[in-house]
Amino acid sequence: MKSYKGTTCFEYELERYQNKKTGTYLTLDEVKSMARGNEEEWIDENFRYVTVTVNVEGRSYFTPGYLSGPPEDCYPDEGETEITSVTLYGKEKEDWEDKLTSSERDYIMDMISEYSMDNYFGDPDDEIY
C-alpha cells in the first residue's frame, strides 16, 4: 500500500426512528428497548421511520513500514483515521458523532480512509499534518 494523507468531507445517510411527539431520533435498538406489548404496532403508533443526512468530516494518513533488512532499519506501518465532525445536514453545530452506532462509525472511518487515499496526489515524503 502506498503512502497517503488527506482530509475529506461527505454526506452520509443514517436510518432512524423519529418520535412523533418529541421529534427526537432513535435507533431501532433504542426504540425496541422501549416497546411494551405489540412491538410493531407500538412503534408505528409512536415513531416514524426516517433517513437523516449528516455531514461528515475526517482525516486519514498512512505510511508503509519497512520490514526487511537489519532490525535497526525496520519500522512498522504508521497510520491513523479520525472523524473530525458529524453534524446534522442543514443545522449548524448540531453534533451527531455520539449518536452513531458502532457499525456506522466503522463504515464512516473506512470511507474517510478510502476517500483520503483516492484523492491523494501529493508527495508521500511530505510531513503528515
Grid coordinates representing 5 are 494523507
DSSP labels for 53-70?
A: EEEEEEEEEEE--B-SS-
Element (H or E) spanning 112, and its range?
helix 102-118
Alpha-carbon gap, residue 63 to 3, rounded angstroms: 5
Note the pTM of the prediction, 2 decimals. Answer: 0.80
Domain ranges in the chain are: 4-118
**Is residue 95 a contact partner of residue 76, using CB atoms and an 8 Å limit?**
no
Task: Report pLDDT digits (tens) over 98-120.
Answer: 999 999 999 999 999 999 888 76
CA dihedral sign, ordered 19, 87, 112, 100 = negative
Interval 46-86: pLDDT, tens: 999 999 999 999 999 999 998 888 989 899 999 999 999 99
